[in-house]
Structure 1
Amino acid sequence: MNVYRTQTGLSHQFRDVLNFYYPACIDTRVGGYAAQLDERDGHVYDSQTRHLVATARGVHNFSLGVVADGPDWCRYAAEHGLQFLSTAHWDADREGYDWLLDGREPTDRTRYCYGHAFVLLAGARALQAGILGARTEVERAFEVLEDRFWEPEHGLYADQASPDWELESYRGQNANMHACEALLAAYEATDEDRFLERASTVADRFTREVTSATDGLLWEHYTEEWEPDLSYNEDSPRHQFRPPGYQPGHHAEWAKLLALLADHRSESWILERAFELFDAAVDLGWDDEYGGLYYTVEADGEPIVPDKYGWVHTEAIGASALLSRHDDAYADWYDRLWAHSLEHLRNPKYGNWYERLTREHERDDPNRGTAVEPGYHPLTNAWLAIRALEDEPAAFE
């Protein structure tokens, strides 16, 4: 029996991720979170850098801890992070969120839709948790996304702007995917149709219309007119945020988001597309020799970067849990992904997940864990699986 078929088992995974980051990530000197924890033993290897995405993800995580009746300290931790997000990261003069800080001093004020989407997500989860100031952050983040990034002629968000809001020509899949996620969370937190309508538009436009140019697969990089830029970063296969190729993890992540959207919208294409994208993730991405999902691949499944990333597998776990509610066959993938992940990708001592291993599941140091991932992927997908697999009451013993 897969213990992660039970809410109790999943609740322990959820709690383990929270415990790994708390209290080590709480910084009362600078403020906010020191999210750079070594994934092997949890020591803080960079106490000064503050990344917008890491701050927002931390607020999201601890807010979910409150929502899920987790440890009592989750409320304090969420309040602590939200206060830093709403003050230190917010540039009141230019009305946008700063990307990177050294302590409280901005070092990179580039405006990324990706980062602003995570602020909306953080605000939505904090609002669900009843954190003071959360509603203000939801409204502010959504206003920036709509006023600065939304392009109604395309039905999608632009990707990047200068500190003074001059848009770059690059357009990207990832920012729109996480905007869709944040909009769904905002709808859950407020029950306001404006968020659901925008999430539906983004999902429909990207997963059905834009992907028609690449035979239904999700390309990552586009021109200003939303045409696939197939040569983008082809000389930088290990680029941190914009690698070339198709990402099985993002196919699984979109499948998850469509499954969530299908809980609120009845159009048949939503679940049909969710199944197609999950199937593409495992058909293209599964490594038959060593197991696990590749990071990036060609359209025929030939690996570009064959490394195994923890976030990829947690997203596939969340997607398979949600899809198994509609088709039992996906429960088999849920079990298979957990078995592989427990053997290789989850830290057996602390319960956090490793960022990246080689194809053969070796560690090629230095590999401390990404500075923008304070447990957001494993925590989110454990929580979604808890909601999907209702076989016993959740427990945080």
Structure 2
Amino acid sequence: MPVPGSRRWREQQLDSVLRFARRSALPDGGFGRLDAAGEVQTERGLELWINARMTYVFAIASMREGAVDPLAQHGVRALRDFFVDPEHGGWFAAVTADHRRAETRKGCYEHAFVVLAASAARLAGVPGAAELLDKALDVHDRWFWDEQAGRCREAWDAGWTTAEAYRGVNSNMHTVEAYLTASDATGDPRWRDRALRICEQVVAGARANGWRLPEHFDAEWRVLLDYNAGAPADPFRPYGATPGHGLEWSRLLVGLEGALDDPPRWLVEAATALYVRAVRDGSVGDTIVYTTDWEGEPVTRERFHWVMAEAVAAADTLARRTDGAAGAADLDRWWRAIENHFVDHRHGSWHHELDDAMRVSGRTWPDKPDAYHAVNALLLPDAPLAPTLARTLAARLES
């Protein structure tokens, strides 16, 4: 067997993850949620975040393979035709199996992934992607970007009349990735500049909190450290600090530095500090727990595949940026942990959740709906630190 984390191992894993992900494509369009064995749960309808992420994944696959993957076009059509609100604009968070709206909430998190998917699809040359991206950026600019706050609002009702009183860092994190990719796809530096503004605010909050990242705020951006204390394993808004997000931010900060003509020096300092704190607090054995309290003690001890994917991506990114001063010592251990604990040799892809005894669990993620984190982790080690992965793959096609 190839050494875990080696290029050959990563290529084999990428093929496995993509092969599993292809099962999510529905004959009538869009992508359904896959269960742990790879069966589509058609009764659950279609979720926007899954469809956007799968569209991104197959746009990336298109550029890796050198031709437009039919499932990338399949995804663009779904985002264009099934989720759009024809009355008020934007995208519904979920629709039924026959494409009737099932959830009218319009969230920044989901819309950021529409921007990301459309940006990657445009770079891959997928028909209709450029028009989709124009609409997605217009919606994000009009409804989610808050110029005064330098960050994004969280969510609105269907008619864009009432904004949720909550503000979240998770949605802003994915907006940073989406804006960087949109800037690479359009050539417009505005999105890169906005990514920097978001990072300035987030890093300031983390620095003031010992690099344990506060993620939950009220409408005036006042921090809510006890938010969801009664729901510590929430999949999107858990209580406490989330080491996996500290790792993800670390990777994004290094990527932002490489994208800017005159980057501030604090970007690498912050990337390193976030990484060190996340590893110090979250490491248990050869993996990383989901959440900790504000003293760094584990709260939700389940291990998630996305956390490990971001761990290896951040470690590799930071090791290359710091010439091995940070991250390098962790890589081999974590790649082996993914192989030993997360790779599903029976059904394919990676187990999404393990309990504290490293047994397959489903407390928070009972299914396997997500290929996005794994695909990024498996490809980023072969890409430069900047531009974004999508732009890098597109440039290779053009050369």
> Residue 89 in 1 paired to residue 87 in 2?
no
Q: Which residue of 1 aligns with 2:113?
A: 118
Shift of 1:151: 1.2
- What SS does the aligned partner of 2:259 have? coil
Query: Is the CA contact (8 Å cut-off) linking 2:150 and 2:198 kept in structure 1?
Result: yes
Shift of 1:350: 4.9
Query: How do 1:222-371 and structure 2 match up within 5 A?
Result: 222-265=217-260, 266-288=263-285, 291-326=286-321, 327-329=323-325, 330-364=327-361, 369-370=366-367
Query: Is the CA contact (8 Å cut-off) linking 2:240 and 2:293 kept in structure 1?
Result: yes
Q: Deviations over 1:103-160 (max 9, x none)?
A: 2011101010000000000001101110011111212111111111111111000101
> Residue 206 in 1 paired to residue 202 in 2?
yes
Change (3 A) 1:368 1:298: closer
Change (3 A) 1:161 1:142: same
Q: Which residue of 2 aligns with 1:185?
A: 181
CA distance in 2, matches of 1:38, 1:97: 25
Change (3 A) 1:366 1:307: closer
Candidates 118, 132, 143, aligned match of 2:138: 143
What code does the residue aligned with 1:280 have? Answer: R
CA distance in 2, matches of 1:269, 1:357: 35
Change (3 A) 1:2 1:9: closer
CA distance in 2, matches of 1:5, 1:230: 36
Q: Which residue of 1 aligns with 2:390?
A: none
CA distance in 1, matches of 2:318, 2:363: 36
CA distance in 1, matches of 2:357, 2:155: 36
CA distance in 2, matches of 1:364, 1:386: 32
What code does the residue aligned with 2:18 have? Answer: L
Shift of 1:212: 4.2
- What do you get for the CA RMSD once the two structures are aligned? 2.1
Query: Is the CA contact (8 Å cut-off) linking 1:234 and 1:244 kept in structure 2?
Result: yes
- What SS does the aligned partner of 1:230 have? coil
Query: Is the CA contact (8 Å cut-off) linking 1:210 and 1:226 kept in structure 2?
Result: no
Aligned identity (percent) is 30
Q: Which residue of 1 aligns with 2:70?
A: 76
Query: Is the CA contact (8 Å cut-off) linking 1:98 and 1:108 kept in structure 2?
Result: yes
> Residue 33 in 1 paired to residue 28 in 2?
no
| TM-score, with length taken from structure 1 | 0.90
- State how many pairs are aligned: 380
Change (3 A) 1:82 1:279: same
Q: Deviations over 1:293-338 (max 9, x none)?
A: 0101012221110001110000111111111112324222111111
Query: Is the CA contact (8 Å cut-off) linking 2:94 and 2:103 kept in structure 1?
Result: yes
Candidates 81, 93, 97, aligned match of 1:99: 93
Query: Is the CA contact (8 Å cut-off) linking 2:233 and 2:364 kept in structure 1?
Result: no
Query: Is the CA contact (8 Å cut-off) linking 2:242 and 2:290 kept in structure 1?
Result: yes
Change (3 A) 1:125 1:369: farther
Which runs of 5 or more structure 2 residues have no equivalent in the other structure?
Answer: 386-392, 394-399
- What SS does the aligned partner of 1:211 have? helix
CA distance in 2, matches of 1:18, 1:196: 29
Q: Which residue of 1 aligns with 2:170?
A: 174
What code does the residue aligned with 2:213 have? Answer: L
Q: Which residue of 1 aligns with 2:152?
A: 157
CA distance in 2, matches of 1:303, 1:45: 33
Query: Is the CA contact (8 Å cut-off) linking 2:55 and 2:121 kept in structure 1?
Result: yes
What code does the residue aligned with 2:201 have? Answer: R
Shift of 1:343: 0.7
CA distance in 2, matches of 1:342, 1:8: 13
Candidates 196, 220, 242, aligned match of 2:192: 196
Shift of 1:61: 0.3
Shift of 1:4: 4.8
Query: Is the CA contact (8 Å cut-off) linking 1:309 and 1:357 kept in structure 2?
Result: yes
What code does the residue aligned with 1:69 have? Answer: E
Q: Which residue of 2 aligns with 1:51?
A: 47
Higher relative CO (Cα under 8 Å, sequence separation at least 6) belongs to: 1
Query: Is the CA contact (8 Å cut-off) linking 1:233 and 1:243 kept in structure 2?
Result: yes
CA distance in 2, matches of 1:48, 1:350: 21
CA distance in 1, matches of 2:362, 2:264: 47
Query: Is the CA contact (8 Å cut-off) linking 1:159 and 1:171 kept in structure 2?
Result: yes
CA distance in 2, matches of 1:45, 1:87: 21
What code does the residue aligned with 1:90 have? Answer: V
What code does the residue aligned with 2:241 have? Answer: Y
- What SS does the aligned partner of 1:3 have? coil
Q: Deviations over 1:325-363 (max 9, x none)?
A: 123242221111111111111212454111111011112
- What SS does the aligned partner of 2:320 have? coil
Q: Which residue of 1 aligns with 2:20?
A: 20
Q: Which residue of 1 aligns with 2:9?
A: 9
Which runs of 5 or more structure 1 residues have no equivalent in the other structure?
Answer: none
Shift of 1:237: 1.3
